[in-house]
Every structure is written in C-alpha cells, then in structure tokens.
Amino acid sequence: MLILLPPSETKRPGGDGPPFRADGLAFPELVEQRESVVDALVALSADEDAAARVLKLSARQRAEVAVNAALRTSPTLPAVDRYTGVLFDALDAPTLEQAARSWLASHVAIHSAPFGVVAALDPLPAYRLGAGIRVPGLPAMRAVWADAVDAAIAAASPSFVLDLRSEAYVALGPVPADIPQAYVRVVSEGPDGAVRALNHFNKHAKGELVRSFAQTRPDVSGPADLMRWAQDEGIVLRPSAAGELELVVRSVTR
C-alpha cells in the first residue's frame, strides 16, 4: 500500500541533514521536474519584491524569500518532520518509534509543489511554494507535475493507493487509473445520523489515521484488507455513494 499525503504550508525550520539533491529523493523519475522548479524558485528569489508578489507573501512573510533563495544549500529534515500544521501535528512523527518511522518510509509519500511526491523520510529543505502558484519561467504547476507524477506512481507499482491529498494536489498528479485506489473524505456523523463534510478538522483525522497505520503496521494490499484493519482498530471507514471512502468522525472538538 502507498498512502499519499498533502504537504503543509507551515514547516519546521532548520535541520541537520545534507543539502537538497534532486536525485537523493524517492521517485527518481521526477529529477528533471525537481531541478526545474528549484532553479526557478532560486532565480525568482533574487528579486524580493517580485518573489513576494508571486508567492503572495504578506510583509511578515517576506523572510520566506530568503528561505527559497537557500534551497540548494540549506540543511534538510525528513519530509514528515519538516511539515507542521494540523495533519502533521496529529501524525506527530518525531515521537514514533523507529519501527513505525521505517513503516512510514516504505508506505507514505508526501506530495509537494517543488519536489513532487517524496517518501516520508526523504530529506527536504524548508521552502515556500503552494500548488496554485505560477512561478515565472515555468508552466502552471499542474503542467509541470501531473503527467510526471502519474508516471512515477505507476513505476513504483503499488498494490493499492490510499489517497489522503487535498483536491489541489490530486490535480498535480492523479493516481493511474489502473492502480487499485481509494480517495478519502472525512465526515462527521451526528446523533441523528446526519453526515456532513469536515474542512479544517479533516486534516487532524487524517493525521491520526496515518499514525494508527504506523503504529500497527498492517499488511494492506487492497480495499478488503484496509476495511478489516479499520474495523479491528475501531476506525469507521466506509464506502460512499460517490465511490470514495468516508472516514467518519463521530464527534468533533473545536
């Protein structure tokens, strides 16, 4: 099984790993695209005003331009430790035991705008770039990544893909249609049985789900295995009328 996660806009600074190398990440089919996007971001960063405008940065966020300027020289962190925010705080990968982290390395990929899909423990520098940004000198991110990510996932030949990405990142790399897959939406079910989609809290539920996977390390090769595991763990995961999977959260604390 391969689990696909979205990135987070917020990231942990610093790191103690070696500088970025496009060929030092999983999914080596994406080296050319990674090099192109990183080169364009570094070039854009030479003009702080232009970079702030393109990246839609506020005055308080202008330091992010310098972060991008140092993409090729700054220290790295494992991808799953680099990202913060609701999903990654719930996953809380730094507190997992080594066996759980090794499971993440083999089964989880994070889809980012500058690097495409990378393995959970791949070394990443800090950066600033969202899926919807058009970087000068490059086509739209969808044109950069969609076909390449599709081909890279196909080359990895996963038996089953569990897609926890946001729709913006799905557009940057759809899972090949011939690979068994399931897209997950998080919903809340009230006492009266009414179901509603969740927005902000869906990230927390997805992070908890992936943490449960890492801690239990199930052997999932298809939807039937996934549903059995979820039932054993007391996780409500069920097919929806739209052909997706619903991750049901029965009570939401705000």
The rounded radius of gyration (Å) of the Cα atoms in the chain is: 18
148 Cα distance to chain centroid: 16
For 89-148, what is each residue's pLDDT tens digit? 999 999 999 999 999 999 999 999 999 999 999 999 999 999 999 999 999 999 999 999
For 192-241, what is each residue's pLDDT tens digit? 666 666 666 899 999 999 999 999 999 999 999 999 999 999 999 999 87
Q: Where are the domains of the chain?
A: 2-249
pTM: 0.94
d(CA 144, CA 172): 8
For 30-70, what is each residue's pLDDT tens digit? 999 999 999 999 999 999 999 999 999 999 999 999 999 99
